[in-house]
Amino acid sequence: MRKLSLAIAMICAASVVAAEEITVAALGDSLTQGYGLRQSAGFVPQLADWLNAQGVTNVRLINAGVSGDTTAGGLARVDWTLTPDVDAMIVALGGNDLLRGIDPQVSRSNLKGILKAAQAADVDVLLIGLTAPRNYGPEYKQAFDAMYAELAEEYGALYLPSFFAGITGGTALRDTDPALVQPYMQFDGIHPNASGVRNIVAVVGPSVVELIALARK
């Protein structure tokens, strides 16, 4: 009888653990996808390892990064990214918008659509921004840099100002001393290497823990 009771208790405990699993989708571009890196060294796998090391368990991360994607691409994919099992979403888009010089108002509209979709699905969001370089001009830079914080406030999303903060300290990648960033970047100077991703995850990680806590409420 005691063994039976213990078995029932273990089954109940397992059910509770399973029910508490949180699924987080990481919607992004090549920075999220892990361009140029072995699979285990990309952003999502390293984030998963970091969470485990912090004792944050029962979390399933989905790599929804697509190399070359703009905010428009993310908006086009968001509805089928937000499957019923997704509890929270990391949104890290805008780098390719910058590279193409897309009007920040267009990028803003796309990000707004993504946040609206998440809100409609009752999915908590961490919005990770980027910083435009100074050579884009003050008007472009101000509009691009500001849109992330403003949209996060409007839609009640968590906000992290810069994906590259773990490498640059928060300044634009192009405006940071090359000697400081080179050890953490691939040869193209755009994508982080495995060490760079490790530094990025160390800064992004605490915000993801906060996102997971929100999703568990």
Q: What are phi and psi of 30, to 5 degrees?
A: -65, -25
**Active-site hit among 30, 87, 107, 145:** 30
30 classed as catalytic? yes
Going along 68-120, which residue ranges are E strands? Answer: 88-92
Query: Considering only CA atoms, which of 149, 114, 153 is closest in space to residue 128?
Result: 149
Pick the CATH number of 21-216 from 3.90.226.10, 3.30.2350.10, 3.40.50.1110, 3.10.129.10: 3.40.50.1110
Query: Considering only CA atoms, which of 212, 168, 160 is closest in space to residue 48?
Result: 212
191 classed as catalytic? yes
Query: Considering only CA atoms, which of 82, 77, 75 is closest in space to residue 121?
Result: 82
**Active-site hit among 5, 122, 177, 188:** 188
Those residues with Cβ within 8 angstroms of residue 117's Cβ, 6 or more apart along the chain or in another chain: 75, 78, 79, 82
Which pair of structure tokens corresponds to residue 33?
A: 């996808």
Query: Is a pLDDT exceeding 60 seen at residue 1?
Result: no
Which pair of structure tokens corresponds to residue 179?
A: 């000697």
Residue 193 corresponds to which amino acid?
Answer: N
Mean pLDDT (whole number) for 51-76:
97
Mean pLDDT (whole number) for 55-83:
97
Residue whose structure tokens are 């993801």 = 208
**Active-site hit among 87, 124, 162, 191:** 191
Q: What are phi and psi of 93, to 5 degrees?
A: -135, 160
Residue 6 corresponds to which amino acid?
Answer: L
The full set of domain ranges for the chain reads 21-216
Contact 118, 153 (CB under 8 A): no
Instruction: Give 2's pLDDT tier (boundaries 50, 70, 90).
Output: very low
Instruction: Give 17's pLDDT tier (boundaries 50, 70, 90).
Output: very low
Contact 112, 69 (CB under 8 A): no
195 classed as catalytic? no
Contact 56, 19 (CB under 8 A): no
Instruction: Give 3's pLDDT tier (boundaries 50, 70, 90).
Output: very low
